[in-house]
């Protein structure tokens, strides 16, 4: 069943079959690999601020763990990078390999990335929070540079020359004087070279970067990059246009059955009764029942679906409040009440004042590939039960923990593999689908595949938190801000801090201890909500003052990087060249979070029926030195398109514990027709470290569009989505 | 249950399936053609798009028995002797994907479009592709790839006609 194997694993066959656990001693690892050169990085991670379900934490993992990445070079000069990060469409399989190839002085194709396999790759907390590029990137560069130095030293010893006289290039060490060369493979042949880099994360803040040791090898400056910094095409791109790439839902195992789960008819429901007799009678169908857990397995997914439909269950669903009462409940449930004398004083000295409330709705990630898992029970070499699960997740090690707990297994009895999946956007941090598949497989005694339906994905996953933002602000007639107060209820603290100059300020996140829906991470998370509120409020103040919104921002802004993206976006867009009219409006907004800087200018069109359409958006982006301009452009553009949904029409509607729009026919996501003309202006700061770009590209669009709608119509929309209501329905 | 003979990518394949079994699951689970994706099962996302006699068809809503006697083309059938179709090539070159999960459906929908309109207008592209969701938001690149594929097809057809031209 070669089709069932993961593409990126194929090349590693020999290693995979012989390796038992990632905790292997490094020397064992080398022995199993048949020697070569191995560089490990020790102790380099700290927890991020976002996880899956709110406050779940990190499964008791003591941080830092021993090893965070390995780079191995074998006797043929083949380079394998082992990282627990995963590829979910953000293109790190390509961009991380570029960084390694750059420092190691090998071609891009010499690199194989082994990612997100709990048995082959070192522990990793997960792929989220835009951390792969700023942390894993430099870590891997550092390791690759170390490997390069080790190879040069080994060659120097062999030739009895000074290492400083040698150069590494094209996978070889060369002696420029004699013209002699030694390939990396030849250098490592029969050798067991290992080195472990130590790195202490900075103590208290959640900066995840390893502190560079003065003894570390020099990294290649971005200005001299030849492979990093270029538009290397997506790794294995051809497999995506030929249908060969195996996503988690494409994994098949010998004898595999297909599962379906019975779902409650509402949140917080209890099962009253279930009649499974009809399903049990169907040929080839097995009903799996354990308390409220009811599922079916069959050798055909269609048969499983029919069997599920034949189960008659009665649920008791408690009365629950609907999305219409959401914000009132939130305000009641979240502790508020905090004041600052400074702010009050700043406000009293202001010529123009604002006090407004903004809201964002619950929205769904709706990745096109829903949650999926294939679970298979077998035996370890020691004869114990062994559970192997292929699943789409941003936290393979977190899912492994879930499985270890659910089945009371030991660490070495569970392996989770994560084939590059049909994306996540922060929505696939949890392991419920994997646990369900494993329970079904255990009962069936055969491997089971479970693919959540679209309705399940819309209902039983978790949501981006809804939120209320209260803002009060004041400014002098000349545009100088005098006070700023920003409260966020429930949606989160990220990007709560204003980048504008104002000393009298209060910025506070108010937690809601018992949110209505299960909420979790999301691309950009609260940065979207907080930027929407702040950048709308800034616009309101500018209009009150009769100032140009860009000029007002610039007057209160010292941050050079943010100024630069505002300027770049405005220039490319032609900001101020035309005045807004009743049917055409222009808006601007920007901000920064997680090391990324974004500013967007939007043009909207309002027709006679008051339908809104985004015509054109220009967004300028800066996140330090660019590793892959093409991949970066793709990410930023994608974030902008995704932002259209949350800005204009996406929201989960619910009542009495039921999601009312759990289908693409009712939950509207951006489509071709919604997509405006989009331009992305990239600013490449080769003098600055590279930051992640998966998230912050999403924050500027909604306020820019809202501000453009106001400019045209004089109506201020303070609730996201802005066009789901009657007036601006699109 | 019925024994069916389906013509998939030019090959006659025998398969046993329920009378109402969606083509999507027959392709994926019985014939191992997993390039066709499940996104919703409700005709709303286009991830499952295949060609049935050249028409873009939602395989999740099409019972397999209804396609007996028709020519079914899946993403696996577009590459001929190691050469990508113009649409595949254009998607690859434009990097018109992020996670790539929508890509099979997009390529097949675009293939059907170009068969009908060799030089589609913007409106024709939107019209034909509106049922296909790319949640990663790659639409601008997909549109660019479709335009590029149209050009490539026109160019290669142009070349074929050249010899006649010379003789004439
Ligand atoms: S899976 Fe067929 S249209 Fe979505
Ligand atoms: S590339 Fe991910 S859905 Fe289109």
What pLDDT, on a 0 to 100 scale, did the predictor assign at position A121?
Answer: 85
Domains and CATH numbers, chain B: 2-76 (3.10.20.30), 86-156 (1.10.150.120)
- Cα(A537) to centroid of ligand 1, in Å? 41
Pocket test for ligand 1, best of B22, B25, B52, B60 (most atoms within 8 A of CB): B60
Please enumerate, as own/partner, the contacts of B114-117 that have beta carbons within 8 Å and a separation of 24 or more: B114/B86, B114/B87, B114/B146, B114/B149, B114/B150, B114/B153, B115/B54
How far is residue A589's CA from residue A100's CA, in Å, rounded to a whole number? 36
**Mean pLDDT across B75-84:** 96
Which residue ranges form the domains of chain A, and what is each CATH number?
A: 5-245 (3.30.365.10), 249-317+371-451 (3.30.365.10), 334-364+462-729 (3.30.365.10)
pLDDT band at A50 (very low <50, low <70, confident <90, very high): very low
Q: And the tokens for A638?
A: 């994608």
Q: How far apart are CA A528 and CA A534, in angstroms?
A: 10
Burial (CB count <10 Å: 0-12, 13-18, 19+), residue A92: buried
pLDDT at A211: 46
Q: Cα dist. A37→A40, A72, A150, B56 in Å?
A: 10, 6, 9, 51
Residue A671, chain B, CB below 8 Å: the answer is yes
Q: Which chain B residues have a beta carbon less than 8 Å from that of A453?
A: 41
- Mean pLDDT of the region B111-134: 97
- Of A40-49, A193-202, A225-234, B59-68, the poorest mean pLDDT is in A40-49
- Within 8 A of A241 by CB-CB distance, chain B residues are 75, 84, 88-89, 91-92, 97, 103, 107
Specify the residue for token string 């971005």: A222
Summarize the confidence of residues A316-323 as an average pLDDT.
94
Tens digits of residue pLDDT in A549-605: 999 999 999 999 999 999 999 999 999 999 999 999 999 999 999 999 999 999 999
Report whether pLDDT(A23) > 60: no
Of B85, B100, B30, whose CA–CA distance to A7 is shortest?
B100
Give the alpha-carbon dihedral of A305, A311, A314, A318, to 10 degrees.
-20
Question: CA–CA separation, A132 vs B135, rounded Å?
Answer: 21
Q: Encoding tokens for residue A624?
A: 């330090």
Looking at the CA of residue B136, tell me the nearest atom of ligand 2.
2
Per-residue confidence (pLDDT) for residue A106, from 0 to 100: 96
Average pLDDT score over residue span A182-208: 65
pTM attached to this predicted model? 0.91
A173/A149 Cα distance (integer angstroms): 10
| Residue A39 confidence class, pLDDT cut points 50, 70, 90 | confident
**Distance from the alpha carbon of residue A393 to the mean position of ligand 1, in angstroms:** 22
Exposed e or buried b for every residue in A342-369, given b needs 16+ CB within 10 A?
ebeebbeebebebeeebbbbbbbbbbbb
Contacts A639 to B, Cβ<8 Å: 137
Residue A207 pairs in a beta bridge with none
A203 vs A474, residue with greater confidence: A474
The residue written with tokens 């570390």 in the block is A216
At residue A61, the pLDDT reads: 33
Residue with the larger pLDDT of the pair A325 and A44: A325
In the predicted model, what is the mean pLDDT of residues B133-143? 97
Residue A68: predicted pLDDT: 66
> What's the Cα-to-Cα distance from A189 to each of A75, A159, A182, rounded to whole Å?
5, 16, 11
The radius of gyration computed from the CA coordinates of chain B, to the nearest angstrom, equals: 17
> Residue written as tokens 């500018």?
A542
* Contact predicate A620/A647, CB 8 Å: no
Q: Assess contact for A257 and A448: CB atoms under 8 A.
A: yes
pLDDT beyond 50 at B61 = yes
Q: Give A483's Cβ-side CA count (13 Å radius).
A: 23
Percent with pLDDT over 70 in chain A: 88
Which residues 6+ apart lie within 8 Å of A588 measured at CB?
A539, A549, A550, A553, A566, A569, A570, A575, A599, A600, A601, A602, A704, A707
**A489 at the B interface (CB within 8 A)?**
no
Confidence (pLDDT) at A493 = 94
Residue A630's closest chain B neighbor by CA? B95
Cα angle B88, A452, A384; round to 5: 105
Residues 6+ apart with CB under 8 A from A593: A494, A495, A524, A527, A531, A695, A696, A699
Q: At what angle do helices A629-644 and B139-167 cross, to 10 degrees?
A: 120
Q: For residue B44, give the ligand 1 atom closest to its CA.
A: 3
Q: For a pLDDT cut of 70, what percent of chain B falls above it? A: 93
Is pLDDT above 50 for A548?
Answer: yes
Range B11-36 average pLDDT: 97
Q: Does pLDDT of A49 surpass 70? A: no
Rounded CA-CA distance B138/B134 in Å is 6
Q: Do A368 and B129 touch (CB under 8 A)?
A: no
| pLDDT value at A34 more than 90 | no
Q: Centre a 10 Å sphere on the Cβ of residue A99 and count the other Cβ atoms it contains.
A: 30
User: Hey, which of A71-75, A142-146, B110-114 has the most confident mean pLDDT?
Assistant: B110-114
Top mutation candidate among B135, B142, B143 for ligand 2, by most atoms within 8 Å of CB = B135
What does the mean pLDDT of chain A come to? 87
Tell me the CB-side half-sphere exposure of residue A147, using CA atoms within 13 A.
Answer: 37
What residues are in contact with ligand 2 under a 6 Å CB criterion? A 89, 368, 423; B 97-102, 134-136, 138
How many residues are recorded in chain A? 730
**Would you say residue A165 has pLDDT above 50?**
yes
pLDDT on residue A60: 32
Separation in Å, CA of A488 to nearest CA in chain B: 28
Q: Mean pLDDT over residues A597-615, rounded?
A: 93
Residue nearest to atom 4 of ligand 2 (CA): B134
d(CA A713, CA B41): 40
Confidence at A43, pLDDT banded by 50, 70, 90: low
At A22, the pLDDT band (50, 70, 90 cuts) reads: very low
Q: What's the rounded Cα separation, in Å, for the pair A573 and A571?
A: 5
> Could you tell me the pLDDT band of residue B159, with boundaries at 50, 70 and 90?
low
Angle at A534 between CA A625 and CA A554, to 5 degrees: 60
The burial class, CB within 10 Å (0-12 / 13-18 / 19+), for A289 is middle
Indicate whether A155 pLDDT > 70: yes
**Cα(B67)–Cα(B5) distance, integer angstroms:** 9
Is A241 within 8 Å of A418 (Cβ atoms)?
no
pLDDT at site A35: 74
- Residues A190 and B118: their CA atoms lie apart, in Å, by 59
Q: Which ligand has an atom closest to residue B45 CA?
A: 1
> What pLDDT score does A124 carry?
81
pLDDT band for position A525 (cuts 50, 70, 90):
confident
Q: How confident is the model at residue A7 (pLDDT cuts 50, 70, 90)?
A: very low
What are the beta bridge partners of residue A175? none
- pLDDT band at residue A506, thresholds of 50, 70 and 90? very high
Q: Which structure tokens are listed for A198?
A: 């130590």
Euclidean distance between CA atoms A341 and B128, whole angstroms = 59
- pLDDT at residue A503, as a whole number: 93
pLDDT of residue A32: 64
- For residue range A372-386, what is the model confidence (pLDDT) as tens digits? 999 999 999 899 999
């Amino acid at each position: 069943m070669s089709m069932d194997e993961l593409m990126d694993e194929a090349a590693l066959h020999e290693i995979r079959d012989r390796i038992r656990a990632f905790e292997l001693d490094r020397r064992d690892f080398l022995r199993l690999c048949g020697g070569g050169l191995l560089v490990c990085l020790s102790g380099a991670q700290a927890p991020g601020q976002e996880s899956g379900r709110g406050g779940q934490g990190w499964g008791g993992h003591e941080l830092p763990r021993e090893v965070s990445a390995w780079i191995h070079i074998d006797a043929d000069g083949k380079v394998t990078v082992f990282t627990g990060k995963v590829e979910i469409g953000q293109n790190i399989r390509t961009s991380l390999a570029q960084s390694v190839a750059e420092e190691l002085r090998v071609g891009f194709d010499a690199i194989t990335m082994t990612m997100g396999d709990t048995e082959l790759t070192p522990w990793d907390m997960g792929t989220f929070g835009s951390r792969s590029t700023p942390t894993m990137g430099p870590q891997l560069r550092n390791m690759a540079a170390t490997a390069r130095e080790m190879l040069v030293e080994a060659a120097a010893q062999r030739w009895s020359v000074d290492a400083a006289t040698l150069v590494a290039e094209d996978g070889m060490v060369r002696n420029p004087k004699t013209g002699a060369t030694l390939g990396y493979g030849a250098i490592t042949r029969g050798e067991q070279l290992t080195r472990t880099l130590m790195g202490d994360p900075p103590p208290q803040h959640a900066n995840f970067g390893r502190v560079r040791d003065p003894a570390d090898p020099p990294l290649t400056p971005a200005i001299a990059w030849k492979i990093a910094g270029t538009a290397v095409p997506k790794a294995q791109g051809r497999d995506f246009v030929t249908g060969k790439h195996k996503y988690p839902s494409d994994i098949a195992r010998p004898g595999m059955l297909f599962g379906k789960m019975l779902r409650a008819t509402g949140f917080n429901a209890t099962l009253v009764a279930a009649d499974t007799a009809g399903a049990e009678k169907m040929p080839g169908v097995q009903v799996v029942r354990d308390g409220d857990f009811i599922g079916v397995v069959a050798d055909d997914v269609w048969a499983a679906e029919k069997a599920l439909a034949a189960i008659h269950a009665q649920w008791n669903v408690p009365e629950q409040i609907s999305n219409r009462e959401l914000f009132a409940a939130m305000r009641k449930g979240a502790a508020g009440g905090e004041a600052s004398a400074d702010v009050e004083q700043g406000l009293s000295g202001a010529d123009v004042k604002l006090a407004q409330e903004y809201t964002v709705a619950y929205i769904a990630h709706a990745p096109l590939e829903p949650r999926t898992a294939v679970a298979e029970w077998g035996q370890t070499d020691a004869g114990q039960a062994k559970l192997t699960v292929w699943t789409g997740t941003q936290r393979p090690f977190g899912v492994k923990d879930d499985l270890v707990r659910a089945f009371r297994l030991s660490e070495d009895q569970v392996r989770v593999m994560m084939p590059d999946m049909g994306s996540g956007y922060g929505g696939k941090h949890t392991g419920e689908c994997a646990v369900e598949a494993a329970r079904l497989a255990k009962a069936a005694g055969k491997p089971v595949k479970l693919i959540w339906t679209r309705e399940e994905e819309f209902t039983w996953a978790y949501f981006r938190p809804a939120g209320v933002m209260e803002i009060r602000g004041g400014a002098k007639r000349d545009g100088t801000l005098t006070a700023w107060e920003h409260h966020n209820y429930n949606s989160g603290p990220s990007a709560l801090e204003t980048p504008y100059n104002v000393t009298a300020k209060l910025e506070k996140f108010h937690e809601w201890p018992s949110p209505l829906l299960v909420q979790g991470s999301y691309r950009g998370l609260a940065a979207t909500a907080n930027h929407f509120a702040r950048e709308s409020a800034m616009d309101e103040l500018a209009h009150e003052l009769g100032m140009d919104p860009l000029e007002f921002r610039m007057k209160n802004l010292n941050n050079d990087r943010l100024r630069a993206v505002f300027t770049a976006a405005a220039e490319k867009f032609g900001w101020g060249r035309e005045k807004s009219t009743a049917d055409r409006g222009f808006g601007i907004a920007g901000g920064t979070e997680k090391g990324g800087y974004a500013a967007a200018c939007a043009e909207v069109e309002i027709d006679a029926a008051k339908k809104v359409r985004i015509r054109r958006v220009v967004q300028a982006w800066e996140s330090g030195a660019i590793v892959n301009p093409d991949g970066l452009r793709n990410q930023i553009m994608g974030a902008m398109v995704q932002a259209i949904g949350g800005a204009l029409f996406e929201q989960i509607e619910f009542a009495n514990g039921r999601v009312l729009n759990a289908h693409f026919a009712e939950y509207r996501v951006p489509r071709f027709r919604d997509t405006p003309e989009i331009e992305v202006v990239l600013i490449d700061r080769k003098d600055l470290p590279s930051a992640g770009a998966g998230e912050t590209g999403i924050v500027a669009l909604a306020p820019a569009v809202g501000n453009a709608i106001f400019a045209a119509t004089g109506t201020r929309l303070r609730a996201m989505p802005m066009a789901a209501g009657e007036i601006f329905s699109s | 249950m019925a024994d069916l003979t389906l013509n998939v990518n030019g090959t006659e394949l025998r398969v046993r399936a329920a009378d109402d079994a969606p083509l999507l699951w027959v392709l994926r689970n019985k014939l191992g053609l997993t390039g066709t994706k499940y996104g919703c099962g409700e005709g709303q996302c286009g991830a499952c798009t295949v060609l049935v006699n050249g028409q873009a068809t939602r395989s999740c809503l099409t019972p397999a028995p209804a396609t007996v006697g028709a020519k079914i083309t899946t993403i696996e059938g577009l590459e001929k002797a190691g050469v990508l179709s113009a649409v595949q090539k254009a998607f690859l070159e434009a990097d018109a994907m992020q996670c790539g999960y929508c890509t099979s459906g997009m390529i097949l929908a675009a293939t059907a479009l170009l068969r009908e309109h060799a030089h589609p207008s913007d409106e024709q592209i939107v019209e034909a592709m509106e049922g296909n969701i790319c949640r990663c938001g790659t639409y601008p690149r997909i549109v660019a790839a479709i335009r590029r594929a149209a050009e490539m097809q026109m160019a290669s057809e142009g070349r074929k006609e050249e010899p006649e031209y010379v003789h004439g």
